[in-house]
Structure 1
Amino acid sequence: MSASATPDTPPAADVAPHRALSVDDFAHFERRYHIAHRFPDFETGRPGGSRCVVEGRIAEAQPWPGCQWVSSDIGIAQTYESHALPGAPAHLSIIVVLEGEAELALGGERCRLLAGQSALLDYDVPDDTLPDYNVPDALLPSPLSARHVAQPRVRAINLTLLKAPQTPHPSSHASHPLSPWLERLALGHGCRRFSLSDALLRSLEESLQWPVGAPGTELMTEGLALQMLGQALQQSGGGYSVEHGAVEPADALSARDRALLARVHAELERHPGRAHSLDALARLACMSPSALRRKYRCRYGRSLFAQLREFRLRLAHRLLREGLPVQEAARCAGYRHATNFATAFRQFHGVAPREVRREQ
């Protein structure tokens, strides 16, 4: 189970063997899943490449495009941490611990999971379009990390869905087949615990014994994934607040709140390339920063950061179609580094910036 298990590589079709994974194997996972690993039990932070970290069985499946299912039944020989890198795409994950324990951290929230516990995680992509990580009022989301302490046995399920799977062409930017449900599950960059039914937990435990690639396994995995999403939706309430842990339905907003939130939304849409800060936007909304973040997500179904990022990438696409060079389009859209811009652009539009400009 990693801090950011993102489906960018098809899984193997054969039965998952019993494996001993070394530090060198973790280096492969870093490239594939856009994460970095640390080994805090060692002074250097990283032991020798052949040293065993985990041993057991890990199976992967893709129930549908843009979705990855990872089941693991392992023993952890060395405590390790995994940290999402800037290249990790925005995604939603459901993590279920069936045995053992794990700890997640995201958006200033820490979530320790024990046997039988589950968490919903909503990760927005950090990039360089907003003020520094060290600026307190920045909209930039905090990093995602997970810590796995040494323990005899961990059995877990990780279901990850990309928020914006790549599409063949920017003009055909299709939504995720589950996008209406994913929007209702969004936490605005954060994580929270929720409960799965005992019956579903038993089914998930049974799934650890399924041979990968056997007839019917793919359909049964898809069924379990839909049940996990359904039970998470039942408990989401459509307006979960990470800061206050309470449900605030959209129709609870006053007419004044809606008008002030529309003012903020219009400011982001008119001037996406500006270096907006949460404090400045909160003053515009006549709210505290925490109230603005909560009420904006309640009103628009997404975080301020996610909305601003979309406005910036749509502006960049229009500028490229008008003939601007890639670096100039990135600068006008608020990006300082072309590499980060290209990564975010491809993840959102499904095509590289230079390919859009080449069409002109």
Structure 2
Amino acid sequence: MADTVTAAVAAEQPAPGQRLTVADLTAYEHRYNLSHRVSGEGHVPPDQTVAEGRVAERQPWRGLQMVGSDLFVRRTYEAHARPEAPAHVSIIVLLEGRAELALGASRHTLTAGDGLLLAYDRNQSLRARHPADQRVRAVNLTLLRDSLENDPRLAGSVDPLFRSRGGGLWPVSVPYGLRLSLAEWIASAPAAPALPLMAEGLALQLVAQGLAGRGQALPGPVPAPRGRDWRLLERVREYLDEYPGEPHTLKALAGLACMSPSTLRAKFRRAYGRSVFDYLRERRLEQAHRALRDGLSVQQAANRAGYRHATNFATAFRQRYGLTPSAVR
């Protein structure tokens, strides 16, 4: 459930910034050992806009990179770790929006307020997917082995993650105050004199929170379905993404997946960490949030998102975003 950190920024538009094009993603590829795939038919031209907003990059010390982003994603895109990408440990905090992460056979969906600790040892594939038509505010702190040489506290606490074969994913509980500080850091002017100190302090807090969560089990899809099952589940998920306002039934969705309703229910939860209709509810509320920001009335936004009664919509919206629908308009 989103809290007041998300609610405090939900009514705003992404901070003014530049277009992020396919060519810009290519530049990031060289810097972070990534490859990107942008949705579209055939060849996507280099000047095609993928997202708009801003990306802040800081290096508090050698071997540690902190990236904050406030983007409106126009086209779905994926980032894949290249074979030459170094082993690393990352703490990811999603302040707003949705992202999907896959480490080997483990897949997890992040929503607003979620945190995740990731240990990547180069023996598994690593992929992140960013669906279109949403605002994403996130912070990603990445530690390389070099960072351990600069602080003995890190060497003692983080090094075991580098030595764990197969890597792993662990949930991270990010306190309200830290999420608020991260949101302020993303929104700060790039030339603010205190920004380097702020980034260093936040980086240490993120490491502490990430290590505190290690050992907890991730809810959801470990291991995830593979092969044909995964393709059929993706068919259902993409259909829900495209038509969230339709009156979906489990029986009809199961037919789309060529599964029985009970099998779809179980496999969808294992793959995405939530039930079919919890996932649909999130997509509907995201669509309604966009409609409200575009100037539609509360009733119009409720209808577009598939809610027949505005009161039920208002209750679900308040639980998701921490404020009433009328406060967004």
TM-score normalised by the chain length of structure 1 = 0.52
Partner of 1:163: 145
Structure 1 Cα separation of the partners of residues 40 and 133 of structure 2? 17
Contact 1:92 1:120 (C-alpha < 8 Å) held by counterparts: yes
Residue 50 to residue 92, structure 1, CA distance change in 2 (3 Å): same
Letter in 1 for 2:86: P
Whole-Å separation in 1 of the counterparts to 2:107 and 2:150: 28
Per-residue deviation at 1:49?
Answer: 1.2
Q: How many residues are treated as equivalent by the alignment?
A: 203
- Offset of 1:176 from its aligned partner? 5.1
Aligned residue type for 1:215: P
Paired with 1:36 and 1:216, the residues of 2 have a C-alpha distance of 33
Matches within 5 A, 1:67-216: 67-125=64-122, 141-164=123-146, 175=149, 177=151, 178-185=154-161, 188=165, 189-216=167-194
What is the CA-CA distance between 1:163 and the residue it aligns to?
2.2
Identity %: 45
Query: Partners of 1:152 and 1:146 in 2: how far apart?
Result: 15
**If each structure's helix is expressed as a fraction of its own residues, which one has the higher value?**
2
Q: CA deviation at 1:244?
A: 12
Tell me what 2:322 maps to: none
**Distance of 2:73 and 2:157 partners within structure 1:** 34
Give the 3-state SS of the residue equivalent to 1:215 in structure 2: coil
Displacement of 1:175 = 3.4
Residue number in structure 2 paired with 1:56: 53
3-state SS of paired residue (1:158): strand
Equivalent residue of 1:175, what SS? Answer: helix
Separation of aligned partners in 1, 2:171 and 2:120? 15
Cα pair 2:141 2:203 within 8 Å, conserved: yes
The 3 A distance-change label for structure 1 pair 97 and 242 is closer
Task: Name 1:42's counterpart in structure 2.
Answer: 40
CA distance in 1, matches of 2:119, 2:150: 15
Asked if the contact 2:62–2:146 (Cα under 8 Å) also holds between the matched residues in 1, the reply is: no
Q: 2: CA distance between counterparts of 1:22 and 1:202?
A: 29
| Structure 2 residue runs without a partner (length 5+) | 1-14, 222-329
Q: Which has the larger radius of gyration?
A: 1
Partner of 1:227: 205
What is the alpha-carbon distance in structure 1 between the residues aligned to residue 61 and residue 107 of structure 2? 30
Preserved CA contact (<8 Å) 1:185 1:232: no
CA-atom RMSD in angstroms: 2.5
Is contact 2:20-2:51 (8 Å) kept? yes
TM-score (norm 2): 0.57
How far apart are 1:202 and its partner, in Å? 1.2
Q: Indicate the SS of the match to 1:182.
A: helix
Offset, 1:232: 1.7
Q: Give per-residue Cα distances to partners, 1:11-63, cap 9 Å, x unaligned.
A: xxxxx971101111111111221111112x3233x411111001101111111
- Supply the distance in 2 between the matched residues of 1:80 and 1:176 (Cα, whole angstroms): 35
Change in 2 beyond 3 A, CA 1:160/1:51 = same
| Paired AA for residue 142 in structure 2 | T
Residue in 2 that maps onto 1:218: 196
User: Are the structure 2 counterparts of residues 176 and 190 from structure 1 closer, same or farther at C-alpha, using a change threshold of 3 Å?
Assistant: farther
2:31 aligns with: 32
Q: Aligned in 2, Cα 1:100/1:176: closer, same or farther, shift over 3 Å?
A: same
Partners of 2:219 and 2:20 lie apart in 1 by 38
Q: Distance in 1 between matches of 2:220 and 2:40?
A: 38
Alpha carbons of structure 1 residues 221 and 192: separation in structure 2 relative to 1, 3 Å: same
